[in-house]
Amino acid sequence: MPDAPEVKAATSNGIPPPSFNLPLPDKPEIITANVQKLTEQTPNPRHKFIFKALIKHLHQFVNETSLTTDEWMAAIDFLTRTGQKCTPLRQETILLSDVLGVSALVDSLNNPVAGGATENSVLGPFFTEDAAEVDFGESIASEGKGDYMYVEGRILTTDGQPIPNAVIETWETDADGFYDTQYADRSYPDCRGRLRSGDDGRFGYRAVVPVAYPIPGDGPVGELLLLLGRHNMRPNHLHMMVEAPGFHKLVTAFYPDGCKYLESDCVFGVKKSLVVSLKDIVDEEEARKRGFPHGRSFKLLQYDIVLLTEAQSAKMRDGVDQERCIITEDHKKF
Ligand code: BEZ
Ligand code: FE
């Protein structure tokens, strides 16, 4: 007989059994109690807090729904396919978090505002780092990408002082409802730009009127929305991300009123304060002055963006934690 190939014996992860024995369950509740008892050993207090809550709610969910084995297997199959659908360009798991409202909730809890500061909205998967620099008054969209829109405003502190030299990233779909990255033949960034506020905090640029568009519907998340009888549309919006030294980074979007999907955004990104009214400017001379090469009219979006300082934002976040009363010093952040 030839020698068997050398195989290393299977070993544990090195953590010894606990100093106590768990009762062997004679009813389902013991399973939950046992998992919680073992989780008590988690060395990092924040991890322990998170996982104890996760187990509590997950087990409660299974009990409350009397989940069947087939249903749990269907859920596992769904989550597996969700992960498998991800590529460097497609993030189906984030999309799942988006349609379940978890992205919007995490974002809102982590970016509370006050003092008239501009609220956050979901980032989404279509931001890219390669937007062209756009000077004041220039266009982020190539000609023919949609109806004209001019966007202008100021970047301000909560006490109304201008914030100069803030970096503003902005992106949107074209009139067909596609981001440039959704075109297989994308050869340059379009409908996106990087600007800076002036000494007086002002910014201004030409863009196109955004349209409502569907989030990707050809994966497990699309199936889920059909199962739930939900549409997969986002109301029309213009994304903006603003950064300035000493200020809390703002990731937001503006939603023109009148869209039929405004109150049922499939990713729950709309907030009341981010709904805007576009002005109709029908004036050929004004259109030309703003740099629009054709047409007599354009829409005007005016909005002053107010940033919190880092210190203001940190104070607000602490306030949220305390209000919720469940986070002690020990349970805080990793
Ligand atoms: C977006 O607005 O670009 C977006 C946000 C969440 C999911 C899909 C798209
Ligand atoms: Fe978007």
**For residue 303, how far is its CA from the centre of ligand 1 (angstroms)?**
21
Q: Which residue has the higher pLDDT, 327 or 222?
A: 222
Residue nearest to atom 1 of ligand 1 (CA): 124
Query: Is 104 close to ligand 1, i.e. is its CB under 6 Å away?
Result: no
pTM of the predicted model as reported, rounded to 2 decimal places: 0.90
pLDDT tens column, 182-222: 999 999 999 999 999 999 999 999 999 999 999 999 999 99
Return the pLDDT at 291.
94
CA distance linking residue 150 with residue 148, whole number of Å: 7
Q: Could you tell me if 278 and 238 are in contact, meaning their C-beta atoms sit under 8 angstroms apart? A: no
In the chain, pLDDT over 90 holds for what percent of residues? Answer: 87
Q: What is the mean pLDDT of residues 261-271?
A: 98
Query: Is 234 close to ligand 1, i.e. is its CB under 6 Å away?
Result: yes
Is 128 buried (19+), middle (13-18) or exposed (0-12) by CB count in 10 A? middle
Cα angle 257, 260, 265 (rounded to 5 degrees) comes to: 90
Assign 318 a pLDDT band (cuts: 50, 70, 90). Answer: confident
CA distance linking residue 331 with residue 232, whole number of Å: 37
Return the pLDDT at 181.
92
Return the pLDDT at 2.
80
Element (H, E) at 305: strand 305-306
pLDDT tens column, 121-166: 999 999 999 999 999 999 999 999 999 999 999 999 999 999 999 9
Q: What is the mean pLDDT of residues 59-64?
A: 98
| Ligand found nearest the CA of 96 | 1
**How far, rounded to the nearest angstrom, does the alpha carbon of residue 63 sit from its chain's CA centroid?**
31
Lowest mean pLDDT among 12-21, 88-97, 226-235: 88-97
In the chain, DSSP finds a helix count (H) and a strand count (E) of: 8, 13
CA distance linking residue 213 with residue 265, whole number of Å: 10
DSSP 8-state code for residue 211: -
CA distance linking residue 271 with residue 142, whole number of Å: 29
Instruction: Please list all protein residues whose beta carbon sits less than 5 angstroms from ligand 2, which is an ion.
Output: 124
Return the pLDDT at 331.
60
Cα angle 301, 306, 312 (rounded to 5 degrees) comes to: 160
pLDDT tens column, 2-57: 888 888 999 999 999 999 999 999 999 999 999 999 999 999 999 999 999 999 99
pLDDT at residue 326 greater than cutoff 60: no
Query: Is 180 close to ligand 1, i.e. is its CB under 6 Å away?
Result: no
Q: Tokens 């949220």 — which residue?
A: 320
Domain ranges (residues) in the chain? 28-67, 97-313
**How far, rounded to the nearest angstrom, does the alpha carbon of residue 199 sit from its chain's CA centroid?**
30
Return the pLDDT at 176.
97
Query: Is 122 close to ligand 1, i.e. is its CB under 6 Å away?
Result: yes
Tell me which fold the domain 97-313 belongs to.
Answer: Protocatechuate 3,4-Dioxygenase, subunit A (2.60.130)
pLDDT at residue 120 greater than cutoff 80: yes
pLDDT at residue 259 greater than cutoff 60: yes
**For residue 41, how far is its CA from the centre of ligand 1 (angstroms)?**
39
301 to 90, 275, 277, 278: CA distances (angstroms)? 31, 11, 7, 5
Query: Is 125 close to ligand 1, i.e. is its CB under 6 Å away?
Result: yes
Assign 92 a pLDDT band (cuts: 50, 70, 90). Answer: very high
Residue nearest to atom 4 of ligand 1 (CA): 124
pLDDT at residue 324 greater than cutoff 90: no
Residue nearest to atom 6 of ligand 1 (CA): 124
Query: Is 267 close to ligand 1, i.e. is its CB under 6 Å away?
Result: yes
pLDDT at residue 292 greater than cutoff 70: yes
Element (H, E) at 151: strand 148-156
pLDDT at residue 84 greater than cutoff 90: yes
Return the pLDDT at 327.
56
Q: What is the mean pLDDT of residues 262-289?
A: 97
Assign 170 a pLDDT band (cuts: 50, 70, 90). Answer: very high
Q: In this structure, which amino acid lies at residue 123? A: L
**For residue 163, how far is its CA from the centre of ligand 1 (angstroms)?**
28
Mean pLDDT rounded to a whole number for the chain: 94
Angle between helices 220-227 and 92-99 (to 10 degrees): 20
CA distance linking residue 307 with residue 240, whole number of Å: 13
Query: Is 92 close to ligand 1, i.e. is its CB under 6 Å away?
Result: no
Q: Which two tokens stand for residue 310?
A: 């880092």
Return the pLDDT at 104.
96
Return the pLDDT at 328.
58
Q: Which two tokens stand for residue 233?
A: 């549309």
CA distance linking residue 269 with residue 106, whole number of Å: 11
Q: What is the DSSP track for 126-165?
A: ---S-PEE--TT-BSS-TTSSSEEEEEEEEE-TTS-B-TT
288 to 148, 150, 190, 302: CA distances (angstroms)? 11, 12, 22, 18
Query: Is 126 close to ligand 1, i.e. is its CB under 6 Å away?
Result: yes
93 to 83, 310, 315: CA distances (angstroms)? 6, 30, 31
